[in-house]
């Protein structure tokens, strides 16, 4: 039986293993790395700007001048946060640089373990397993010029896409199955990294201390979720209000917000 990879303790246990980390980076980013060390809760001192960043998993390959960071999150409503993390790892390199060049290429991989919600700004609902953002400019014909190699990659296993390539599929399945089918997970064990990760987070290999830490992590997450949901409810109220004013029916509003007919009708009455 697999331990759930939406728990911080088990996620870090798996992905800080050197074999797993290297295989994951190879499959997701497409490069071979030899990290000098793999760190958790990494932060830069002094801070860049006024935000206290901590990377869940952070590693550097100094020979290839590459930085890999992995973030595991349960929510999606603040994509700006992950962009800040990505850009900070780029900007931080300027502390000792003699010019404006950025020596190391930065790859940020964000693993989402919950379904996306409607984006509060765009009011769109994303259903993508893989999203990739680069900083490369495009000319007026839409042709991308590979000036920078930095990539910000979002993975969300809750939206299975038949067109997702096998290199992504193996890892997305590992995460999804650990959460939804931990007793009989369907995994590609021919993939060395998947085989190693599934062994590491098998409950037979989880210590009592790690189980206790995992329980504490669940409690913390529940408190954070309660606080976060208050802000999210405010955002969804604004989305529902905008849709009502635009003439949307209850079915569309329910799809966008997750609200019931009763909640929507109460808001309609409030708006007059």
pLDDT at residue number 54? 82
* Rounded Cα distance, 229 and 234, in Å: 8
pLDDT at residue number 219? 66
CB 2 within 8 A of CB 185: yes
CB 199 within 8 A of CB 84: no
* Rounded Cα distance, 104 and 84, in Å: 17
* Rounded Cα distance, 159 and 136, in Å: 27
pTM for the whole structure: 0.78
Packed helices 192-200 and 8-15: angle between N→C axes, nearest 10 degrees:
140
3-state secondary structure 44-98: CCCCCCCCCCCEEEEEEECCCCEEEEEEEECCCCCHHHHHHHHHHHHHHHHHCCC
- Which residues 6+ apart lie within 8 Å of 120 measured at CB? 77, 235, 236, 238, 239
Please say if the pLDDT value at position 106 is more than 80: yes
Please say if the pLDDT value at position 170 is more than 80: yes
pLDDT at residue number 124? 76
Please say if the pLDDT value at position 200 is more than 80: yes
Q: Tell me the percentage of the chain whose pLDDT exceeds 70.
A: 86
Tokens of 35: 């990290």
Please say if the pLDDT value at position 5 is more than 90: yes
Please say if the pLDDT value at position 52 is more than 70: no
Q: What is the DSSP string of 133-196?
A: EE---B-TT--B--S---EEEEE-TTS--TTS-HHHHHHHHHHHHHHH-TTS----TTSHHHHH
pLDDT tens for each residue of 202-254: 999 999 999 888 887 776 665 555 455 555 666 678 878 888 887 888 888 88
Provide the mean pLDDT of the chain: 86
pLDDT at residue number 39? 93
**What is the pLDDT averaged over residues 129-136?**
94
57 vs 91, higher pLDDT: 57
pLDDT at residue number 96? 60
pLDDT at residue number 244? 85
6 vs 95, higher pLDDT: 6
The DSSP bridge pattern shows strands 130-134 and 66-73 to be unpaired
* Rounded Cα distance, 68 and 249, in Å: 45
Query: Alpha carbon 190 to chain centroid distance?
Result: 25
Q: Tell me the percentage of the chain whose pLDDT exceeds 90.
A: 47
Tokens of 112: 């989402």
């Amino acid at each position: 039986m697999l331990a759930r990879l939406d728990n911080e303790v088990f996620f870090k246990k798996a992905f800080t293993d050197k074999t797993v980390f290297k295989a994951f980076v190879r499959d997701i980013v497409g490069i071979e790395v030899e990290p000098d060390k793999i760190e958790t809760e990494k932060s830069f001192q002094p801070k860049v700007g006024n935000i206290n960043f901590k990377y869940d998993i952070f590693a550097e390959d100094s020979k290839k001048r590459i930085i890999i960071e992995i973030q595991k999150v349960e929510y999606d409503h603040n994509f700006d946060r992950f962009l800040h993390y990505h850009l900070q790892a780029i900007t931080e390199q300027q502390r000792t640089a003699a010019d404006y060049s950025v020596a190391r290429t930065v790859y940020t991989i964000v693993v989402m373990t919950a379904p996306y919600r409607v984006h509060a700004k765009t009011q769109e609902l994303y259903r993508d397993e893989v999203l990739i953002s680069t900083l490369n400019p495009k000319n007026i014909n839409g042709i991308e010029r590979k000036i920078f190699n930095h990539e910000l990659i979002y993975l969300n296993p809750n939206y299975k896409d038949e067109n997702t390539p096998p290199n992504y599929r193996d890892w997305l399945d590992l995460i999804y199955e650990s959460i939804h089918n931990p007793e009989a997970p369907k995994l590609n064990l021919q993939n060395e990294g998947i085989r190693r990760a599934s062994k590491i987070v098998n409950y037979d290999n989880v210590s009592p201390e790690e189980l206790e830490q995992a329980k504490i992590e669940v409690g913390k997450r529940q408190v954070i979720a309660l606080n976060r949901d208050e802000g999210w409810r405010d955002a969804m109220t604004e989305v529902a209000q905008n849709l009502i004013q635009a003439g949307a029916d209850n079915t569309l509003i329910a799809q966008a917000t997750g609200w019931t007919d009763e909640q929507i009708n109460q808001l309609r009455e409030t708006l007059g």
